[in-house]
Homo-oligomer: A and B are copies of this chain.
Amino acid sequence: MKLSTKGRYAVMAMVDLASTSNGNPVALADIAERQEISLSYLEQLFAKLRRGGLVRSVRGPGGGYLLAHASDQTRISDIILAVDEPIRATRCAPGSPVGCRVNKARCLTHDLWEELGNQIHLYLSSVTLANVVSRRVLGTAGVIDGPEAETAEAIPMVAAQ
């Protein structure tokens, strides 16, 4: 799970979309103006969000973007994962932790980063767009009954090397 401004922009835009759309498509140009993000950059982000199945698009005049799921079914972690498509966290051999164990202390930290990634993902997947729109993001935001609840694998975080 990588944390960058790109992910934050995506979340900002999705919050905007969730709060201004009432079932109607919202044009990117409108979001761009309100959130002060360049249109072309937003287009890149929404291309990824669309590929990630988080939004649907409607082309032509009157078109725009729609949430693919209800705002209380869209997790913040999904948004960030969609735009930031993260990479490996350690520079151990991808897959087999071979060069990892040779040096004793070298990857003692491995478990640490992995667990930290889990913690971050745990929190961000406990918050939905609806939570943010209604300003309910503090503390344990309450476990949600998500569309599918199996997103708890190993989550890499932050760029490596």
Taking beta carbons and an 8 Å cutoff, which residues of A are in contact with B? 3-5, 8, 11-12, 15-16, 19-20, 34-36, 76, 90, 103-106, 108-109, 111-113, 115-116, 119-120, 123-124, 127, 132-133, 135, 137-139, 157-161
Given the complex of chains A and B, what is the CA–CA distance between A20 and B19 in angstroms? 55
Q: A3-B157, A120-B119, A120-B120 are in contact. Are A12 and B111 (CB under 8 A)?
A: no
Given the complex of chains A and B, what is the CA–CA distance between A119 and B81 in angstroms? 18
Copies of this protein, total: 2
Q: Which residues of B contact A158 (CB under 8 A)?
A: 3-5, 8
Q: How far apart are A128's CB and chain B's nearest CB, in angstroms? A: 11
* Sample (6) of A-B pairs whose CB atoms are under 8 Å apart: A3-B116, A4-B158, A11-B112, A19-B104, A108-B135, A116-B124
Q: How far apart are A98's CB and chain B's nearest CB, in angstroms? A: 15
Given the complex of chains A and B, what is the CA–CA distance between A104 and B5 in angstroms? 19
Q: How far apart are A138's CB and chain B's nearest CB, in angstroms? A: 6
Given the complex of chains A and B, what is the CA–CA distance between A139 and B115 in angstroms? 8
